[in-house]
C-alpha cells in the first residue's frame, strides 16, 4: 500500500475542492509573495473542507495545526527563495494568529487551544498512535500478501482442486484495496467525525471476511469473502487512519510513513510459516478462524483504542459537498496539464503492464516449490525472503528516486525483474535458485510502487493534477492486480515435467510475467520516441 499513502490527504481534499476566489480573506493591497498567496489559498481550501472553517474565520484556521504547518511547508517548497518563504510564513502568522510563525518555533503559533492538544511529531500519544497503526497494518495487510501459501493448499485440497478461480482469491484482496482508495479517501475526509468509526468498521469487515470464508464450500465463496470482502474492509480501515497520521506527524511524516509501510514486510517474515502450519495441521477452516481470532486479540486493542485523531472533529458542515477537481484558476486540473502530456501515457502503460505480472510469483512460488518436492516450510521461506527483500528495495529505491532522473529507477526495477524471471525462476530446479529469485524479485519488483509519487511530480507541475494522476495510477494498478487472477489461471499448465523449463506447468506464467516486466521497462523509456523533452526536477 506504500504507493497510495503519501498523497492520501491531498487527493481527498482535491476531489472535494470548490473554486474559491479569495479563500482565507487575503486583503487587497497588502504585500504577499505570489507563492504565499497560492499556499494560503490551498491550505484555506483544505482546512475549510476538512474542518468546516468559513471563509475569513481566522479563529477556526488557527485552531487546526494542518493550516499552520501546511502554509509553512508549502512556502518552503514553492517560493523561489528563502526571503519569499519567510515573508509568506510571517504574513500568515501575523494575519491569522496575531503573532509570529516561523519554521523554528512553529509549534508555538496555534494559540492557547493548541497548548491543550497532544504534541506533533513526537511525544507519547503520537507514538502510541503510530504503534497502533503499525500493529493493525502488520496483521491485516500482511495476510493477503502471504496468499501463496493458501494457493498451494487450495490447489491440493480435493474440495477445491481443479478450479481455475483460486488465484483470483488473492488478487481480489489486493486489487480491491488499490481500486477502492480513490473512492474511500474523499468519504473519509468529507465525514471527518466518522473516521474512527470507519477504521473500526473496516477492520471488523475484514475479520468477518475471514470467518465467512471459513464456511465456504465453493471457490466462488472464497473469492467473495477472503478476496472481495476482506479487501473492501481493509481499504475502509486503511484510508482514515492515514488521514489521522497526517495530523500527528508533519516534519517527521516521511519517517512515520516509512515505519508504517514496513509493518507488512516484517509480518511477512512469520505469517507464511504460521498459516502454513495451521493449514497442514487443521485445514483451511480452522486456519482462517484461528487467524481471525489472532487478528482480534493482537490488533483489536490497537484498532479500537490506539488509532485516534489528534484533534476531535466536529460534524462536517452541509455546504462542504464534493465537487469536481479544479485548479485555483477554475480550470479542471487534469484537463490543463495531464491530457496533453505524452509521457503520461507511456508511464500509465508501464504501470499497468508491471501490475499485470507483479503478484504472480507471490501466488505461485510455494506451489512451484511443492512441484520440486520441497517441503511446505521451504515454500513459506521463499515468501518470507521476498517480504524482507521488498522492504529493503522500497527504502533503497525511494532514496535513489530523489537523487536521479525518475526513468532510471523505474526502468531498472522492471528490467532487472524481467531478467530475474527468465534467468532465475524459469531454470530453477532447487531451493537455492528459487531463493535467489525471491530475493531479486522482492527487491526490484516490490520497489516499483514507491516510485509513483515521484512519477507524478515529474510529469506535472500543478499539485492538483499530480494528486489526480496518482489516483489514476492507483486505480489501474488495482485493475491489473484483479486481472492477474483469471489470466494466471488460464496460463497455468496441466502437465508437469521437472526436466523442462519452468517445470513445463509454469512456462506460461514465467513467460507472461517476464514479458510484462520487459514491456513495462520499454514503455517506461518510451518518451525517447516522443516529441516531448523529459523534464527532470531533481528531488522535487
For residues 167-189, give the mean pLDDT: 87
Cα–Cα distance measured from residue 69 to residue 75, given in angstroms and rounded to the nearest whole number: 10
Give the residue carrying C-alpha cell 509549534: 107
pLDDT above 70: residue 19: no
CA-closest candidate to residue 265, choices 351, 362, 196: 362
Both 93 and 150 in one domain: the answer is: no
Crossing angle of helices 34-51/65-78, nearest 10°? 150
Both 443 and 296 in one domain: the answer is: no
pLDDT above 80: residue 2: no
Question: Could you give the percent of the chain with pLDDT greater than 70?
Answer: 72
Which CATH number belongs to the domain containing residue 424 in this structure? 1.20.1250
Contact assessment for residue 67 and residue 47, using Cβ atoms and an 8 Å cutoff:
yes
Both 62 and 204 in one domain: the answer is: no
Residue 518 corresponds to which cell in the numbers above?
A: 520487459
pLDDT tens readout for residues 372-407:
999 988 999 999 999 899 888 877 887 787 778 888
Both 460 and 351 in one domain: the answer is: yes
Contact assessment for residue 169 and residue 227, using Cβ atoms and an 8 Å cutoff:
yes
Both 297 and 341 in one domain: the answer is: no
Residue 341 corresponds to which cell in the numbers above?
A: 502530456
Give the DSSP H or E segment for 183.
helix 166-190
Cα–Cα distance measured from residue 490 to residue 498, given in angstroms and rounded to the nearest whole number: 20
Both 184 and 66 in one domain: the answer is: no
- Residue 185, pLDDT score: 78
Residue 315 lies in a domain: no
Q: How confident is the model at residue 16 (pLDDT cuts 50, 70, 90)?
A: very low
| Number of domains comprising the chain | 3
pLDDT above 70: residue 245: yes
Residue 58 corresponds to which cell in the numbers above?
A: 481566522
Residue 316 lies in a domain: no
Residue 422 lies in a domain: yes
Biggest CA-to-CA distance, the chain: 81
- Residue 259, pLDDT score: 80
Please tell me the pTM assigned to this model: 0.69
How many CB atoms sit inside 10 A of residue 11's CB? 25
How many CB atoms sit inside 10 A of residue 86's CB? 17
The conformational region for residue 111 under phi > 0 = left, psi -120 to 50 = alpha, else beta, is left
- Per-residue CA distances from 210 to 173, 444, 503 (Å): 11, 31, 33
pLDDT tens readout for residues 467-499:
567 777 888 988 998 999 889 989 998 888 999
Residue 170 corresponds to which cell in the numbers above?
A: 488473492
Task: Pick the range with the lowest mean pLDDT from 30-34, 127-131, 306-310, 533-537.
Answer: 533-537
Both 501 and 362 in one domain: the answer is: yes
Give the DSSP H or E segment for 470.
helix 463-491
Cα–Cα distance measured from residue 441 to residue 385, given in angstroms and rounded to the nearest whole number: 10
- Residue 405, pLDDT score: 83
Residue 27 lies in a domain: yes
- Residue 117, pLDDT score: 72
Residue 491 lies in a domain: yes
- Per-residue CA distances from 288 to 228, 285, 292, 384, 463 (Å): 15, 5, 6, 20, 43
Task: Pick the range with the lowest mean pLDDT from 188-197, 322-331, 474-483.
Answer: 322-331
Both 358 and 458 in one domain: the answer is: yes
Both 184 and 259 in one domain: the answer is: yes
Q: Domain ends where: 309, 325, 356?
A: 309
How many CB atoms sit inside 10 A of residue 399's CB? 11
Mean residue pLDDT across the chain: 78
Both 31 and 151 in one domain: the answer is: no
Q: How confident is the model at residue 264 (pLDDT cuts 50, 70, 90)?
A: confident
Cα–Cα distance measured from residue 212 to residue 207, given in angstroms and rounded to the nearest whole number: 9
Q: Domain ends where: 80, 115, 150?
A: 115
Give the residue carrying C-alpha cell 509454469: 506
Task: Pick the range with the lowest mean pLDDT from 95-109, 249-263, 412-426, 490-504.
Answer: 95-109
Cα–Cα distance measured from residue 175 to residue 474, given in angstroms and rounded to the nearest whole number: 10
CA-closest candidate to residue 236, choices 193, 199, 210: 199
- Residue 443, pLDDT score: 93
CB-count burial class (<10 Å; 0-12, 13-18, 19+) for 499:
exposed
Higher per-residue pLDDT: 23 or 273:
273
Cα–Cα distance measured from residue 395 to residue 413, given in angstroms and rounded to the nearest whole number: 13
Contact assessment for residue 317 and residue 47, using Cβ atoms and an 8 Å cutoff:
no
CB-count burial class (<10 Å; 0-12, 13-18, 19+) for 31:
exposed
pLDDT tens readout for residues 393-447:
877 887 787 778 888 889 999 999 999 999 999 999 999 999 999 999 999 998 8
Task: Pick the range with the lowest mean pLDDT from 91-100, 187-196, 400-409.
Answer: 91-100
Both 53 and 170 in one domain: the answer is: no
pLDDT tens readout for residues 298-312:
999 999 999 998 876
How many CB atoms sit inside 10 A of residue 317's CB? 13
- Residue 95, pLDDT score: 54
> Residue 246 sits in which domain range?
120-309
- Residue 521, pLDDT score: 92
Q: Which residues contact 116 (CB under 8 A, 6 or more apart)?
A: none
Is 102 strand, coil or helix? Answer: coil
Amino acid at each position: 500500500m506504500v504507493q497510495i499513502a503519501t498523497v492520501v490527504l491531498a487527493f481527498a481534499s482535491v476531489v472535494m475542492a470548490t473554486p474559491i476566489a479569495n479563500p482565507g480573506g487575503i486583503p487587497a493591497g497588502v504585500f504577499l509573495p505570489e507563492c504565499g498567496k497560492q499556499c494560503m489559498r490551498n491550505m484555506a481550501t483544505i482546512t475549510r473542507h476538512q474542518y468546516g472553517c468559513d471563509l475569513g474565520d481566522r479563529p477556526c484556521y488557527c485552531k487546526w495545526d494542518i493550516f499552520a504547518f501546511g502554509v509553512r511547508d508549502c512556502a518552503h517548497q514553492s517560493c523561489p527563495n528563502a526571503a519569499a518563504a519567510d515573508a509568506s510564513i510571517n504574513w500568515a502568522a501575523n494575519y491569522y494568529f496575531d503573532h509570529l510563525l516561523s519554521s523554528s518555533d512553529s509549534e508555538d503559533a496555534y494559540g492557547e487551544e493548541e497548548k491543550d492538544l497532544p504534541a506533533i511529531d513526537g511525544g507519547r500519544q503520537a507514538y502510541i498512535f503510530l504503534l497502533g497503526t503499525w500493529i493493525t497494518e502488520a496483521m491485516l495487510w500482511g495476510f493477503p500478501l502471504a496468499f501463496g501459501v493458501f494457493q498451494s493448499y487450495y490447489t491440493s485440497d480435493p474440495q477445491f482442486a481443479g478450479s481455475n478461480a483460486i488465484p483470483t482469491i488473492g488478487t481480489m484482496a489486493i486489487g480491491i484495496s488499490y481500486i477502492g482508495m480513490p473512492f474511500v479517501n474523499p468519504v473519509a475526509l468529507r465525514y471527518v467525525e466518522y473516521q474512527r468509526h470507519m477504521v473500526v468498521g473496516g477492520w471488523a469487515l475484514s475479520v468477518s471476511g475471514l470467518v465467512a470464508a471459513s464456511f465456504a464450500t465453493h471457490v466462488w465463496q472464497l473469492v467473495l469473502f477472503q478476496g472481495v470482502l476482506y479487501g473492501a474492509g481493509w481499504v475502509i480501515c486503511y484510508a482514515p487512519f492515514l488521514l489521522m497520521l497526517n495530523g500527528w506527524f508533519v516534519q517527521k511524516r516521511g519517517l512515520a510513513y516509512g515505519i508504517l509501510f514496513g509493518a507488512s514486510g516484517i509480518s511477512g517474515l512469520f505469517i507464511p510459516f504460521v498459516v502454513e502450519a495451521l493449514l497442514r495441521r487443521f485445514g483451511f477452516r480452522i486456519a482462517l478462524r484461528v487467524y481471525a481470532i489472532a487478528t482480534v486479540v493482537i490488533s483489536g486493542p490497537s484498532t479500537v483504542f490506539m488509532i485516534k485523531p489528534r484533534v476531535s472533529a466536529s460534524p462536517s458542515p452541509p455546504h462542504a459537498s464534493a465537487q469536481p477537481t479544479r485548479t485555483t484558476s477554475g480550470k479542471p486540473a487534469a484537463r490543463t496539464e495531464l491530457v496533453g502530456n505524452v509521457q503520461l501515457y507511456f508511464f500509465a502503460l508501464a504501470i499497468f503492464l508491471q501490475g499485470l505480472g507483479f503478484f504472480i510469483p507471490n501466488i505461485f512460488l510455494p506451489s512451484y516449490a511443492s512441484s520440486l518436492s520441497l517441503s511446505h516450510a521451504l515454500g513459506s521461506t521463499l515468501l518470507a525472503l521476498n517480504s524482507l527483500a521488498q522492504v529493503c528495495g522500497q527504502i533503497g529505491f525511494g532514496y535513489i528516486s530523489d537523487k536521479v532522473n525518475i526513468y532510471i529507477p523505474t526502468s531498472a526495477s522492471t528490467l532487472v525483474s524481467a531478467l530475474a524471471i527468465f534467468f532465475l525462476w524459469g531454470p530453477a530446479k532447487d531451493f537455492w535458485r528459487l531463493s535467489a529469485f525471491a530475493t531479486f524479485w522482492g527487491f526490484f519488483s516490490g520497489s516499483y510502487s514507491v516510485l509513483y509519487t515521484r512519477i507524478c511530480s515529474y510529469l506535472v507541475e500543478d499539485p492538483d493534477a499530480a494528486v489526480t494522476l496518482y489516483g489514476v495510477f492507483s486505480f489501474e494498478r488495482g485493475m491489473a492486480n484483479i486481472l492477474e487472477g483469471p489470466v494466471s489461471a488460464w496460463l497455468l499448465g496441466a502437465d508437469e515435467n521437472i526436466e523442462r523449463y519452468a517445470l513445463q506447468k509454469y512456462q506460461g506464467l514465467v513467460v507472461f510475467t517476464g514479458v510484462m516486466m520487459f514491456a513495462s521497462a520499454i514503455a517506461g523509456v518510451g518518451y525517447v520516441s516522443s516529441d516531448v523533452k523529459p523534464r527532470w526536477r531533481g528531488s522535487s
